[in-house]
Amino acid sequence: MGHTLLAVLGLFLLNTLLYGHAEGTDAVLEVPEFTLFEGDSVTLRCKHRTTQHSMTATFYKDGSLIKMDTNHWSSTTGELTVRVSVSDEGWYKCQFADGTESEERELRVKAGRRSATLTADRTIIPLGGNVTLTCSVEDPAGFRYQWFRQTSDYSGETSPEESYRVISQGGKYTCRGWRSEPHVITPESNEVVIKETGTDAVLEVPEFTLFEGDSVTLRCKHRTTRRTMTASFYKDGSLIKMDRNHRSSTTGELTVRVSVSDEGWYKCKFADGTESEERELRVKAGRRSATLTADRTIIPLGDSVTLTCSVEDPAGFRYQWFRQTSDSSGKTSLQIENVQESFRVISQGGKYTCRGWRREPDFVTPDSNAVVIEETVSNRATLTLQPNWPQIFRGETITLRCDIQGGGDNQWMYEWTKDNLNIQAYNEHRIISATEADSGEYRCKGRRDSYSSTRWSDVITLTVSSNRPKAELRADDRVIPVGGSVTLTCSVKPSSSGWKYFWYRGEKTSEPLSSQLSAGPIRVSEGGVYWCRGGRGDPVYYTEYSDPVTMNKKVPNKAVVTLQPNWSEIFRGETITLRCDIQRGGVNQWTYEWTKDNLNRPTTYINYRIIRVTSAHSGEYRCKGRRNLYSLTEWSDVITLTVSPNRPKAELRADDRDIPVGGSVTLTCSVKPSSSGWKYFWYRGEKTSEPLSSQLSAGPIRVSEGGVYWCRGGRGDPVYYTEYSDPVTISNNGPNKAVVTLQPNWSEIFRGERITLRCEIKDGGDTEWEYEWRTTSSEKPSNQNELSIRSVSASHSGVYRCKGRKKREKSSTDWSDPFILTVTDKAQSVLTVSPSWLSAGASVTLNCRVKDQSAGWRFYWYKTVPDPSDNFYSYELLPGSSSGTEQDSYIVDGQTHTAGYVCRAGRGDPVFYTDYSQPQFVWSADFHSSASLTVSPDRAQHFTSDSVSLSCEGNSTEWRVRRSPENRYLSDCSTWGTMTGSTCKLKTNWLSDAVYWCESGSGEFSNSVNITIQNENMILLSPARPVTEGDSVSLSCKLRSQTFDSTVFFYHNEKVIQSDTRWELNISAVSKSDEGFYKCHHSGQESAQSWMSVQAVSRPEHSSFPVLLIVGLICGIVLILLLLLLYRYRASKYTCFKRPIQSESSNTDQNEAQCSTYDSPQHVAGGSQDVTYSLLELRNFGKKRKQHTPEERSVYSDVRTGAADDSLLYAQVFSHDKGKKKNGRSAPAAADETFYSEVKPGSSLGL
């Protein structure tokens, strides 16, 4: 029974050691009190005090719910297993489903793995002796130990589980610690090698370090005999002499009270000469002491504290524990026998000490330092503040009170802390006059005796404001309405609670209005000066007085402001009076207040007079009357005074400046800006003269005499005058008329031209005239009849009028009708060229026009000359245009190469020229040796990813490559490519469709090439240059990124000419009919179209004579045929003729009769043309020295007659050479040739 009880008690103590918990809540979380190491596994258990059933619990760390993972798992309800790391250190709690929550418990984790350390009191086992091994583990509570020994032939585990082991056998020893709850096994410790002595003499010396004052006995033993034998002792090789610190009590022993000088190597020697091995004796300076530590100094409610007693070199030490329960009591031992464990778990408060004791050699340390452990009792300390105001002000009296729940009043002592500094106090801590130094965090606790106390109370934070607060008085209105009242509100800033308010009227030093002591607002109906202040507490603590608030009481009388004189606008310098009238208020008892723009004015009189008003007097004026200090009227309505900063000026207007014969004109004087009250003063001649007294008026007047007139306005008393008006000259008109003319009289005038405006007086006779001009332009004409402008500009545009005035008379003409002059910006010439591309023998037509076409122009024509060193062209006049041409067109004959042209127009004397037109080009694809352009690769279309180069060749070392995109400006290679020498490499990442050509330093143009760079998926590969008639040509369709898998269509001039799977179009012998636009189509994709030009083959020179002969013959024959046809118009419509035919097999001639049917010639205007055919046979004969087969040549003429109004007939002659025979075979036929002749019919033909 006794053993069972002890076992239960032991389990309880172990559970308390491992999982201490508090008694204050129904939920208890069991957390180890000792420190864990990384890698340890621990199970936290949540238990409910009131039930034995398993309940689901959730676990929290530092207030956050713990999520399950590989290092945090729950195997059963109410348990959490953790494989700890440093991040798991913190405060844990658990909560059941019914809301019951445990207190927080701390789990401590130390970085690194827990290790075991093995030490030995010595490493050599003396003869017949043993060695003590000690296995140490950090925080050893609950640990047991495993021991291992290794010899040369055996390795195994020993069974004892104590932390020390006494051995008498040599070997290599290790140990490790293990604990079942929570389960931990340390790695194996360091190795310690223990040897058995190998000589007959053995000296026993402690393995551990001794301290000064320790006593140690060195024993010298003989292995082979049991007899006592005399031995001598040596230190560091020298014989030790006996003294009071070195003495021998029996033979073979040496007792030493050690000091630092005794440290060294010792040996012993018997009389028979047997000598031991040297052994080291280690001595440390100072006395050996014991140190007592605790894992904490306060025992939580229902928990425990672990004490640890430490001694340096603790091998062989046992420990004694002592507890003192009060300062007056003595210490008592906690156990009967000395214990080997260096730690002890306690659950009672007290002052604890310990000491170490060792038997061999015998040594007892002094008592350790004292550690005071306080036990926490279940009573709870509560701290309250009285009065409990959220903010305390300097000078107030407050009390902090500490109450112990369920603890009575008499047995407790109290401890207080402020900002963690202890202060002395009873259960109440009273502060008579608080200051800022009293601010801080206060806590308290109760102490039942020296070593048991409550936990600290919750913190109360006391904040003492550094300044005495001030009351703030507010009124919902400063004026008490008639028969009403206003609300006054007193408050304390900064805001806090507990205040009552004291109200004062008049002086703040007077007694408060006792009837008005309140905690909230009051209402008052009397005028006067009011104050307030707040007070609270006992004795009353007062705030500062509020600022005063003056309350005025309104009377029913009404104030009205009037302006005299009451003009809508007042001007600087006038005199005005503002008057304040109190309705039904009498005169003598009132004082007055004025305000302008809400700023009080100093005057207190009924009238506010301003002698010379300025703009500074402008503003809003109000007034009110005051009957006594606190009784007054409402403010009057506002009257707004606006003072113009400038003196106004009179403006004089006449309905006509010329008085008709026998008539009069009306003069009107007004003041700007407009206002009322003005009368007008009129003057004739000089404005300094006396006014026309008969004409003082408030409105217009009529005058019938010419002269210079003035006026000004005046108003007020004294009279305030405006500025004089500008003068107006009135003239008596005569019968003559003025006209404005323009020379030269062109419909449109351009900037830079020279013009003359002339004022002509019709029927002016020989009278001498003076002239006056008016214009809306910037021009300021003189008084001459002509206004010449050498270089007109847009600023001269406007309306011009003039009139004449007879010298020495006051009569003049009427103003002329307005003449509108419009000056257009610089004239611009625009050139067009036709055609754009040259064909053989064609002429080039240039057309020049002036933008905004007008009359009088002559046109000048130029050819551009390139200069690669400059970005521009120089211009050379074309023949016959040095003086300009009247026609706006010019024909250039014989142009065969690419060329550029400009034009400009001129007119007037001196000549005024327009700007040069933009250069326009006619392009030729023909090569010539002096300047040529080649494209690589040689095709017209390219992808944006292709590399395209343009090369210039010819009789120059300096080149530039230019291009002309459609409807865009010219540019050279540096803009869209890279020029290297005479080669330009295009930047094909830019899309373009343009004509390219070269320009040489010698001023020549190359052939032109049309190149398209596109971003589509398909292009047509066609030659970039013209192909020669008769050559073979291959056109192909190319895709950017795929191959052709279906039908490919090729188009010539929008007609399909090939549709199959071939992606090439081959023409074996190209002819002129193959010229045109080509494109290809495949699977919904279509290439751009390109023009293929076909160049005719040049003919031998000897054929020119037959051509001329043929043309002449045709012309004669055509005339004869026409006459015959007319003559036989009504005869038979059938005609037969014979044509000689030469057989290919013989030289004989044969005649073949052929008949043709011809219709009568018909002439239809705008309709079809009749055609007459004539067949001629020409023969060429060689020299007679050799007989040759005559060549046959058939010439066909096609005569087309036009409508009746046509002036030309054209004959188309086809010449065909038959092949020659050579060596029995026919020679190939010559190519067909076409000739044109121009026939001009005469009137005798009846056409």
Quick: pLDDT tens for 391-440.
Answer: 899 999 999 999 988 876 657 888 999 887 777 768 888 898 899 999 99
Indicate the pLDDT class of residue 49, thresholds 50, 70 and 90: confident
Q: Check whether 1216 has a pLDDT greater than 80.
A: no
Quick: pLDDT tens for 1042-1068.
Answer: 777 789 999 999 999 999 988 899 999
Quick: pLDDT tens for 168-204.
Answer: 888 899 999 888 776 788 889 999 998 877 678 888 8
- Residue 857: partners with Cβ closer than 8 Å, 6 or more residues away: 850, 888, 905, 906, 907
Q: What is the C-alpha separation between 1048 and 1018, in angstroms, rounded?
A: 12
Least confidently predicted of 144-153, 420-429, 1128-1137, 1199-1208 = 1199-1208
For residue 676, the model assigns a pLDDT of 83
Q: Give residue 72's region: left, alpha or beta (phi > 0; psi -120 to 50).
A: beta
Q: Check whether 966 has a pLDDT greater than 80.
A: no
Is the entire prediction scored with pTM above 0.85? Answer: no
Quick: pLDDT tens for 114-123.
Answer: 889 999 888 8
For residue 1015, the model assigns a pLDDT of 83
Task: Of 1198, 1231, 1235, 1236, give the one whose Cα is nearest residue 1217.
Answer: 1231
Is 706 in contact with 559 (CB distance < 8 Å)?
A: no
Q: What is the DSSP string of 1-17?
A: -HHHHHHHHHHHHHHHH
Task: Of 49, 50, 53, 42, give the one whose Cα is nearest residue 19.
Answer: 42
Q: What is the C-alpha separation between 604 and 588, in angstroms, rounded?
A: 13
What average pLDDT does range 198-223 have in this prediction? 84
Q: Which two tokens stand for residue 448?
A: 């039942």
Helix/strand/coil for 514? helix
Least confidently predicted of 268-272, 843-847, 1166-1170 = 1166-1170
What average pLDDT does range 275-282 have in this prediction? 89
For residue 309, the model assigns a pLDDT of 92
Least confidently predicted of 63-72, 547-556, 1156-1165 = 1156-1165
For residue 382, the model assigns a pLDDT of 92
Q: Which amino acid would we find at residue 793?
A: S
Task: Of 897, 834, 888, give the one whose Cα is nearest residue 861.
Answer: 888
Q: What is the C-alpha separation between 525 and 541, in angstroms, rounded?
A: 30
Is 482 in contact with 555 (CB distance < 8 Å)?
A: yes
For residue 717, the model assigns a pLDDT of 80
Q: Check whether 224 has a pLDDT greater than 50.
A: yes
Least confidently predicted of 123-132, 362-371, 847-856, 1133-1142 = 1133-1142
- Strand ranges for 867-930 from DSSP E: 873-877, 889-892, 899-907, 912-913, 920-922
Q: Secondary structure of 431-469 in the HEC alphabet?
A: ECCCCHHHCEEEEEEEEEECCEECCCCCCEEECEECCCC
Q: What is the DSSP string of 1184-1200?
A: TTS--PPEEEEEEEEEE
Q: What is the C-alpha separation between 1035 and 1013, in angstroms, rounded?
A: 17
Phi and psi for 1106 in degrees, rounded to 5?
Answer: -60, -35
SS3 content of the chain, % helix, strand, coil (to 5): 5, 50, 45
Helix/strand/coil for 933? strand
Give residue for tokens 């000491």.
355
Helix/strand/coil for 796? helix
Q: Which two tokens stand for residue 1081?
A: 């189509």
Arithmetic mean of pLDDT over the chain: 80
| 1159-1163-1169 Cα angle (round to 5) | 70
- Residue predicted with more confidence, 1144 or 654: 654
Q: Check whether 85 has a pLDDT greater than 60.
A: yes
Greatest mean pLDDT among 839-853, 1081-1095, 1148-1162 lies in 1081-1095
Quick: pLDDT tens for 992-1022.
Answer: 889 999 999 888 999 999 998 888 889 999 9
Helix (H) or strand (E) holding 1127: helix 1104-1127
For residue 549, the model assigns a pLDDT of 93
Q: Check whether 597 has a pLDDT greater than 80.
A: yes
For residue 1106, the model assigns a pLDDT of 56
- Residue predicted with more confidence, 808 or 381: 381
Q: What is the C-alpha separation between 1011 and 988, in angstroms, rounded?
A: 11
Q: Check whether 1229 has a pLDDT greater than 70.
A: no
- Residue predicted with more confidence, 1139 or 712: 712
Q: What is the C-alpha separation between 5 and 1243, in angstroms, rounded?
A: 161
Q: Which two tokens stand for residue 1033?
A: 């040509």
Least confidently predicted of 334-338, 967-971, 1094-1098, 1226-1230 = 1226-1230
Task: Of 531, 521, 438, give the one whose Cα is nearest residue 487.
Answer: 521
For residue 160, the model assigns a pLDDT of 56
DSSP 8-state symbol, 127: T
What average pLDDT does range 1074-1098 have in this prediction? 88
- Residue 1215: partners with Cβ closer than 8 Å, 6 or more residues away: 1106, 1107, 1110, 1193, 1194, 1195, 1232, 1233, 1234, 1235
Helix/strand/coil for 870? coil
Indicate the pLDDT class of residue 661, thresholds 50, 70 and 90: low
Give residue for tokens 């801590």.
429
Q: Check whether 1183 has a pLDDT greater than 70.
A: no
Indicate the pLDDT class of residue 493, thresholds 50, 70 and 90: confident
Residues written for the chain? 1247
Instruction: List the helix and strand counts (H, then E) for the chain.
Output: 3, 119
Q: What is the C-alpha separation between 180 and 41, in angstroms, rounded?
A: 10
Quick: pLDDT tens for 673-719.
Answer: 788 888 888 888 777 677 776 566 778 888 877 778 889 998 888 88
Is 637 in contact with 624 (CB distance < 8 Å)?
A: no
Q: Check whether 478 has a pLDDT greater than 90.
A: no
- Strand ranges for 556-672 from DSSP E: 559-564, 570-571, 576-582, 591-596, 599-601, 607-610, 619-628, 631-632, 639-641, 643-644, 649-654, 658-659, 665-672
- Residue 562: partners with Cβ closer than 8 Å, 6 or more residues away: 578, 579, 581, 639
Q: Check whether 1182 has a pLDDT greater than 60.
A: no
Q: What is the C-alpha separation between 1049 and 1040, in angstroms, rounded?
A: 17
Residue 411 burial by Cβ neighbours in a 10 Å radius (0-12, 13-18, 19+)? exposed
